Structure 1
Amino acid sequence: MYSAYPQEHARPPARPRRRWARRLLAVAVVLLLILAIMLVAADRVAVAYAERAVADQIDQQIAAQQIEASTAEVSIGGFPFLTQVAAGRYRSVSIVLRDVSAAVDGNSVRLPVLDVDARDVRAPLDVLRTGQGEVTAASVAGTATVAYDTVVQLIGQPGLQLSEQDGRLGVTAPVEILGQRITLTGTAELETADGEVLLRFDDLDAEELPGNEAARAFVNAYAQQISIAVPLPTLPFDLDLQEVRAEPAGLVISATARDVPLNTLG
């Protein structure tokens, strides 16, 4: 019995070693967190730099086309960003142009907003740094809004108003028929062709419309008069007009393109 005690007291204590191991683990975790924060911060700084570089090139091309617009808003998606920089390829680039205005056939056409979503963008680091070379996208989808006041100005009929009604383009127009002042209402069919938006009003009516052929003939003639083709400015990024729909803010057009340069607007 007596000989066992010295052997027990000879065992090395385990607690100090465990405490030291826990301290090392805690220090390692803190260092990893600091490193992760630094990498994220560097990633975000690089994103901001690239977004400014792309926006500057787009602004220069917009000005060269004599198109007025606010400063381009560019947002580059995907994380981590630095790996995309190294590869020179970016998953997505979002571009917003506001208050776009250009002269078309002597008329000023205003687009309050032009949203562009570019996918699979190729932008080598040297191009972003120097501004020399092309930034290209495999596919581009864009939407633009034509303000209703612009369309009303092109139609040129006093008192006429346009608005969205249950997803369709609605019209309200005060007219005088056979000495009687009435208000015509109706909707339009919308189509796209050759870079223009076609408005066709063929369903105008009024509760107080006189029930005779002369009154109906006047309404039909007026409907043809306000049915026009709305010219659009040449859209940047080689966007090809696809469809149009009526929304509360105006006529919203959709356009697409493939394999286009983002910093050479054509």
Structure 2
Amino acid sequence: MRALRILLVIVVVLGGIFIVVDRTAVYFAESEAAGRIEVSGGTVDSTDVSIKGFPFLTQVAGSVLDQVDIKLTGIETAAAGRRIRISEMKAELHDVTLADGFATATAARATGTATISYEDLTHAADDGVVVEYGGNGKVKVTGAVDILGRTLTRSVTSTVTLVDGRTVRVHADKVPGEGIPGLEGLVRRKTDFEREIGALPSGLKLQRIEPTKDGLEISVTGSDIRLAGQMNRLQAG
């Protein structure tokens, strides 16, 4: 009986040691991964990584992680001379395969959401244009144009759509012309615009976009997402 109690104590102690080692390895791996996730053609203010599943060391031994959650803050790129910034993107990466001696990692599939604030969308628009939430899934775009020696400021209700899974398009539903020739064209040249979002991990694409009071919410999906170079020290953990 005493031998059984001693055996149980040893099992508990070893189990506790394993858990500590496993969690330490996870913490190390998450820290390393956060600094190594790459986006194409852009920059990121900060990256957070959370590796799910237990035990972690068993997953590493099999070279496949069940789920890795990432949060990228301040993804910034430029297109047509204009900066566009994703305020935040969260994604769940599933079945992440480690390869090349843990130098690369590729997720079989991913789902998530991205947010573009109206402040950032305003910065991406033409000079002097302000973009706000317009209610009912629309945005309100305000801009000023010069015509016939007068400066006219107009606000339009616009629809936001995605083009080819990479480009945000803002297009006015209707422009009040007030019988002034050429006014609608001038206003549209100010208020209608497209901006490409190129700075995403390879394999991720934008799926659906919806204006809300907090900004543009975008569904993110993908397959074979390559997170180049961010896992090359996992083995050391």
TM bucket, shorter chain? 0.7 to 0.9
Map residues 1-266 of structure 1 onto 2, 5 A cutoff.
21=1, 30-58=9-37, 61-62=38-39, 65=40, 67-123=42-98, 126-127=101-102, 132=103, 134-156=104-126, 158=128, 160-163=130-133, 165-171=135-141, 187-194=157-164, 195-203=166-174, 213-214=178-179, 218=183, 222-223=187-188, 225-263=190-228
Deviation string 1:162-202 (CA, Å, 9 cap, x unpaired) is 12624432345678999999975553222211321111211
Structure 1 residue aligned with 2:234: none
Is 1:161–1:173's contact at 8 Å kept on the other side of the alignment?
A: no
Query: How many Å apart are 1:150 and its aligned residue?
Result: 3.1
The CA distance in 2 between the partners of 1:161 and 1:109, in whole Å, is 13
Give the TM-score taking structure 1 as reference length: 0.69
Distance in 2, Cα, partners of 1:106 & 1:247: 27
SS of equivalent to 1:245: strand
The 1-side partners of 2:31 and 2:72 are apart by 14
Give the total of aligned pairs.
229
Question: Partner of 1:135: helix, strand, or coil?
Answer: strand
In 1: Cα distance, 2:5 partner to 2:151 partner? 84
Superposed CA offset, 1:212-235 (max 9, x none):
952798468635641221222242
SS at match of 1:153: helix
The question of whether the paired residues in 2 share the 8 Å contact of 1:178 and 1:215 is answered with: no
Give the Cα separation in 1 of the matches to 2:100 and 2:20.
19
Shift of 1:139: 0.7
Percent identity of equivalent pairs: 28
1:91 shift after superposition: 1.0
Mapped to 1, the partners of 2:171 and 2:211 lie a distance apart of: 13
Letter paired with 2:192: S
Q: Which has the higher contact order (CA 8 A, sep 6+)?
A: 2
Structure 1 residues 234 and 48: alpha-carbon distance in aligned structure 2, compared to 1, 3 A threshold: same
When the two structures are superposed, what TM-score results if normalisation uses the length of structure 2?
A: 0.77
The one-letter code matched in structure 2 to 1:196 is T
> In 1, Cα distance between the equivalents of 2:148 and 2:81?
35
Which of the pair has more CA radius of gyration? 1
Do 1:109 and 1:232's aligned partners in 2 also have CA atoms closer than 8 Å? yes
